[in-house]
Amino acid sequence: MSLLHFVRLFNRNLPLFLFCAAVTGAVVFFLTRDLPKTYNSETEIYTGIASGLDVENLGNTKVDYQSANTEYDNLINIIKSRHTLEEVGNRLLAQHLMLDSVDRDILLPESYRRLREWISQSLEEKLVVPYSVELTLRNIRKYKAEHYKENRVKQVFESPSSPYSHKAISSISVDRVQNSDLLRISYGFSDPGIAQNTLLILNEVFTANVTRIKVGQSSDVVNYFRNQVKKADERLDKAEERLQEFRVANRMINYQEQTRSLAIKKENMEDELMKTVAELEAAQAAVERLERQLSLNNGLIKLGNAILEKKKELVDIRAKIAELETYYNDADLLNKLRRRADILQEEISNQVKERYQKTRTTDGIPVESIINEWLTYTLELDAVKAELKVYKQRQRYFQEKYAHFAKLGAKASRLEREINMAKDNYLELVSSLNTAMLRQRSQRISSGGLVVTVPPNYPLSAEKSKAMLLILVGAVVGFFIPFMLVVLREFLDSSIRLPQRAERMLRLKLLGAYPDLTQRRSSKKIDFEWLHDKAVGLLAQNIRMMASNQNQSDKKPKYLLLFSTREGDGKQFMAHVLANELAGLSYQVMMLSPKLLPKDDTPYYEFVHYENNKRFINAEQLTEIMPVGFQAAQYDFVILVIDAILTNPYPIDLLRQIDLGVNVTGAYRSWNSADKQALNAIRKALPHEPRFILNGVEPDFMQNVLGDIAKERSPIRRFLKRIFSMELRQIRLARRDS
């Protein structure tokens, strides 16, 4: 659809659009003339969502706009939720039922009268508890839940006209004031007191709901972490008790210090052991050297019982001294043993001297000096052996202690690791509990931070009536609906309509088009006489041109065939119009038709009626269907009209004589596969490719064939036509010519 076609369609149906708009506007006017006045009350709430102080973030933090928008959406949805609105309606009804008489600050007499019609005296006595709004509210909820199917309950709590209905209260408007922390809530009702008190109750109800939701969520989290902290504390206590029992059972005060002390003592003992081994080796080597020098009979010395006994006693004392020095710290006993050892050593020395004082070695060296030296090293060797024996025992003691502490250390480490894990878990849960409690406190503060900055006002004047706006909207809707139907009809119309579309569907070349003359009344500004003459003249011109282009241009007559695939396409009328036009051009014309001409049609040509029978179907020459006395050679054009080829047979042999076949198709109908098959069949029978005439074309579409159509146009209409036709260059030329 072109822009020009759209404008013409709009202009042609404009009276219908205006009529429908006027009708709907009038209907809306009569329906809205008795609308009650509306009193609008407003309140503003400070939320503190974006810029308020937060317990969790005391510093200046960036605002998360997405989270802030989510908070605002949650808050608005809580305000407009059905639960909130129903609670507001219940509280408003409880407030009104507590009144003994009309209070204009709460409701007007008309509203009070309507309340008394809805709530009978007996029902009021059941619901109202004097001086107790909460008990009255509880009775209202109970009665509403038990009698929700009754019409009276539905009228009070479900009717959109009731101030206690959530449907009526749902008309509240909740908007954020620009990008601030403020919410503006407005509500309109026919009673100013009800409008104000509804917002007052709404502020209380939704604030309590917000606090309940937020604190309830955080309380569940806090309780969870409290239970987990308690369990973790119990696990930590049990782990510490197991470690304590283990230490008591194994006499372990401080494992690290004890093992450290044991390791130090062991290292010291190892050092002393190595020194003692070295001393033993040295003493043993010295004794062996002296004995080789003496070459004495060691058996004589050993046979001395006194010396041997004293020597044995001295060895025992030396061993006791070494043991006391290693394990104990008894100074008195140690001194006594040392004195006794010195005395024995002196006595042994004296006895040996007395026995061997005049004895010499084999080398002639005095034995006295060597014996003294041998005695010294022998005694030292015995002392070192005694110390070495003690150190060996001490070494076994340390090895046993090491093995014992190694087992204790592994188990102690495991118990300490369990304690550390339990402690870490406990501390982490305590931290989470503190965070949850901080969050809970923050939620309490933020919920309590909803501050009514602008209390609901008592509206003194009613809002401007919206009747004119509703009438205007109704008129626009009344205009728009038929407009859309007309446009939709144009898009859904499957008829041929346009000559270009007909060429695509029929796959034939256009011979001409004829307008729809039935639109004379609706298109009074079109010159239909001019349109008829131009359309018929163009058809006759094209027929004459095609006849002259034939190879046998001097052949007489020229046989024209007018056919259509269906009945009602207007081929009889088109043949009559063409025959008259050719006759008016001084051509001799004959028309053969199976139908009679209407009585009011005056032919200027020779008209012959024939019967569509077997004789016609089997005819091979046109002269066979002409009456006796008619000579075809005396005519310039012979026009043969046949019945619809889709439902009637036609003479195939006769069609071979046709010079020009013309298919007449109505622009007001569709083209389907049956039409295509019938047209393809007759195309094969004709000696030349047929053409087609599009009949009944809308006058505006005739410009595709004839160019500009003669119309009565004002200068403005001509200007607009060129604009909508996108003929901008013509506008400039027109301005230049003017």
593 in any annotated domain: yes
Q: Residue 592: what pLDDT?
A: 92
pLDDT per position as a tens digit, 292-314: 665 544 444 444 567 767 777 77
**pLDDT class for 732, splitting at 50, 70, 90?**
very low
User: 441 and 511 in one domain?
Assistant: no
Q: State residue 36's pLDDT score.
A: 74
Q: What is the pLDDT of residue 295?
A: 53
Q: Average pLDDT, stretch 15-31? A: 87
More confident residue, 466 or 615: 615
Give the pLDDT mean for 561-587: 92
Q: Are residues 682 and 561 in the same domain?
A: yes
719 to 7, 524, 663, 723, 738: CA distances (angstroms): 13, 20, 38, 6, 13
Count of positions (residues) in the chain: 738
Backbone angles phi, psi at 302, to 5 degrees: -75, -25
pLDDT at 677 over 80: yes
Name the least confident of 199-208, 382-391, 573-582.
382-391
Same domain, 281 and 395: yes
In a domain, 483, yes or no: no
Q: Based on the domain organization, do 430 and 510 belong to the same domain?
A: no
Counting residues of the chain whose pLDDT is more than 70, the rounded percentage is 77
Query: Is residue 197 in a domain?
Result: yes
Structure confidence at residue 202 (pLDDT) = 92
Question: Do 266 and 367 lie in a common domain?
Answer: yes
Do 148 and 42 sit in the same domain of this protein? yes
Closest CA to 590 of 545, 618, 623: 623
Name the region of 304 (left: φ>0; alpha: ψ -120 to 50; beta: rest).
beta
Cα 636 to Cα 18, 318, 555, 654, distances in angstroms: 55, 171, 9, 19
**3-class SS of residue 39:** strand
Q: Are 307 and 187 part of one and the same domain?
A: no
Report pTM.
0.46
Q: Which region among 156-160, 285-289, 717-721 has the lowest average model confidence (pLDDT)?
A: 717-721
Note whether 408 and 296 are same-domain residues.
yes
Mean pLDDT of the chain: 79
Cβ atoms of residues 128 and 97 within 8 Å = yes
Domain boundary among 381, 416, 445: 445
Q: 523 and 397, same structural domain? A: no
- Position 291 confidence tier, pLDDT thresholds 50, 70, 90: low
Q: Which residue has the higher pLDDT, 632 or 114?
A: 114
Query: Quick one: 345 and 200 in the same domain?
Result: no
pLDDT value for 661? 92
Domain stop point among 445, 464, 480: 445
Percent of the chain whose predicted confidence (pLDDT) is above 90: 19
Average pLDDT score over residue span 421-425: 83
| 44 backbone dihedrals φ, ψ, rounded to 5° | -125, 140
Q: Does 58 have pLDDT greater than 50? A: no
Count of domains observed in the chain: 3
SS3 687: coil
Q: Give yes or no: residues 649 and 534 share one domain.
A: yes
Which pLDDT belongs to residue 736? 39
Are both 137 and 284 inside the same structural domain? no
Instruction: Specify whether the CB–CB gap between 453 and 46 falls below 8 A.
Output: yes
Structure tokens at 4: 């020009």
Does residue 723 carry a pLDDT above 70?
no
Q: Of 423, 454, 485, at which residue does a domain stop? A: 454
Contact at 8 Å (CB) between 409 and 202?
Answer: no
Report which of residues 289 and 331 the model is more confident about. 331
The answer, yes or no, to whether residue 664 has pLDDT greater than 90, is yes
CATH number of 553's domain? 3.40.50.300
Q: Which residues of 319-342 are buried (b: 16+ CB within 10 A; e: fewer)?
A: bbbbbbeeeeeeeeebeebeeebe
pLDDT at residue 662 is higher than 90 = yes
Q: How far apart are CA 709 and CA 698, in angstroms?
A: 12
Partnered with residue 691 across adjacent β-strands are 509, 662
720 lies in a domain?
no
pLDDT band, residue 682 (cuts 50/70/90): very high
163: domain range?
3-221+450-454
Amino acid in the structure at residue 50 = A
pLDDT confidence band for 590 (50 / 70 / 90): very high
What is the predicted pLDDT for the residue at 365?
A: 58
Q: Is residue 311 part of a domain?
A: yes
Residue 686 lies in a domain: yes
- Burial annotation 361-390 (CB, 10 A radius, 16+ → b, else e): beeeeebeebbebbbbbbbbbbbbbbbbeb
Distance CA 566, CA 643 (A): 8
**Token pair 């209907």: residue:** 27
Residue 571, C-beta contacts closer than 8 angstroms, at least 6 positions apart? 562, 563, 564, 641, 664
Lowest mean pLDDT among 138-152, 154-168, 509-523, 719-733: 719-733
How far is Cα of residue 167 from the mean position of the Cα atoms in its chain?
29
Q: What angle do CA 24, 30, 33 make, to 5 degrees?
A: 130
- 337-392 confidence digits (pLDDT tens): 888 888 887 877 777 766 554 455 555 556 566 667 777 777 777 777 777 777 67
Structure tokens, 403: 């093995």
Residue 695 DSSP class:
E
Q: Provide the pLDDT for residue 691.
A: 93
- Separation of alpha carbons 287 and 302, rounded Å: 15
Quote the tokens at residue 716: 């403005």
In angstroms, rounded to a whole number, what is the distance separating the alpha carbons of residues 702 and 523?
13
pLDDT (mean) for 164-186: 89
Taking the C-alpha atoms of residue 11 and residue 23, their distance in angstroms, rounded to an integer, is 19
CA distances from 640 to 37, 123, 129, 590, 655 (A): 78, 94, 102, 8, 10
Within a domain: 531? yes
Q: Can you tell me the mean pLDDT for 588-597?
A: 91
Here the tokens at position 165 are 């209905």
Tokens standing for residue 678: 């019938």
> Do the domain assignments include residue 231?
no
